[in-house]
Amino acid sequence: MVDEDLKIDAKKLASWLSKKEPVTILDVRPKEEREEWSIPGSIHADVYQKIKAGENNVFSDYKLPDGPVVTVCGAGKTSMIAAEQLRRKGFEAYSLQGGMKAWNFVWNIAEISFGDFKIIQVRRSAKGCLSYIVGSNNEAVVIDASLDPAVYQNLAKENGWKIRYVMDTHIHADYISRTRELSKASGAVHVMIDKANVDYTFSPVKDGDVVLFGKAPLEVIHTPGHTWESTSYKIKDLVVFTGDTLFIDGVGRPDLKANNDEAVKKSEQLYKSLSRLLQLGTSTLVLPAHTSDAVPFDGKLLTSSIGAIKENLQLLKLSKTEFVQYTVSRIPPAPPNYLTIAGLNKKGSYKGYSPYDLEAGANRCAIA
């Protein structure tokens, strides 16, 4: 029989972390799974095999800090056994309900304000997916929505904004885009680059077009390479939303759904697109669609300037030939379920599928 008192839900653990309450998070998954994705600040207990083998005192020699301990595994079953064993040792132990699969939907925000507009970076902590709601006067745009529409609608409401436009920087392959759903829920216009090969209708824009919301102009920059339709959006020379084309510490992978010849062509395009982005002002802030590490609950905006990225990212100093060789030879393993996810995003509907299962696992969009 399961003791319900042993469980803590992902939302509650996230609120503890946001409030900096003392908690020890004990990750009981095998090391390889933890290396894929984890909760910021968690520590590893290498007990998975022992628990699976039926050992009933796996923490006999463990010393843990005072205060609550939350055990974590993939889906919340092994962590229950671990929490029970810790309770027997006298700890205030809890098991994270639903494990990492539930933690996948936990998010936090960071903000930055400019004269005419304010940006809220909405971060899915586990996968490092970054989406944005940008408001000016009483209007807003949402870029790369990756969470339930209500998340963005509530943020808009809190700030007195009406969501006018929604858009993706590209057809994502590592999470299900919620942009179309948000468009339907909010009545916002779904904008996309005219070259996008999707099965639904949208309001097409092309390179150089400007989408005006409030007092802020959002300019479209077509930056193919990571995917053919990849698009960046900039506001004046202040910020540029780069999707998976340029990250703070890497560049997008040019290979998914491509054979080697196509990966080379995409890499050549990526080089061109990056050269174009690097010509923006050195102080322009880059706001990407992903970060490679779990996002802490610290409210710090994940960004860097074009100047700093140019300085620090060695692969941006390579010639075109070297860049293509480098990126094509350093491609990471494909993200889990990427063909299914990209297919659903092309279709614009994930009816019959569960993001809970499909989106589990780290994002693998970058090459550094």
Q: Which residues bind to Fe ion, rule: CB under 5 A? A: 244, 365
Which two three-digit tokens encode residue 108?
């936090």
Smallest distance from Fe ion to CB 233, Å: 15
**CA-to-CA distance for 125 and 105, rounded, in angstroms?**
8
Residue nearest Fe ion (C-beta atom):
244
Residue whose CB is less far from Fe ion, 83 or 344: 344
Residues 153/188, Cβ–Cβ less than 8 Å: no
Residues 251/232, Cβ–Cβ less than 8 Å: no
Which two three-digit tokens encode residue 254?
């040019």
Q: Is 201 left (phi over 0), alpha (psi -120 to 50) or beta?
A: beta
Residue whose CB is less far from Fe ion, 120 or 365: 365
Residue with structure tokens 């779990």?
294
Residue whose CB is less far from Fe ion, 48 or 233: 233
Smallest distance from Fe ion to CB 364, Å: 9
Smallest distance from Fe ion to CB 143, Å: 13
Smallest distance from Fe ion to CB 365, Å: 5
Residue with structure tokens 């075109």?
320
Judged by DSSP in three states, 239 sits in: strand
Residue whose CB is less far from Fe ion, 7 or 226: 226
Residue whose CB is less far from Fe ion, 117 or 241: 241
Helix (H) or strand (E) holding 164: strand 162-167
Smallest distance from Fe ion to CB 367, Å: 12
**CA-to-CA distance for 273 and 227, rounded, in angstroms?**
11
Residue whose CB is less far from Fe ion, 2 or 368: 368
**CA-to-CA distance for 173 and 361, rounded, in angstroms?**
12
Judged by DSSP in three states, 93 sits in: strand
Taken in order 294, 297, 298, 304, the sign of the CA dihedral is positive
Smallest distance from Fe ion to CB 22, Å: 37
The terminus-to-terminus CA distance of the chain in angstroms comes to 48
Residue whose CB is less far from Fe ion, 220 or 270: 270
Smallest distance from Fe ion to CB 243, Å: 7
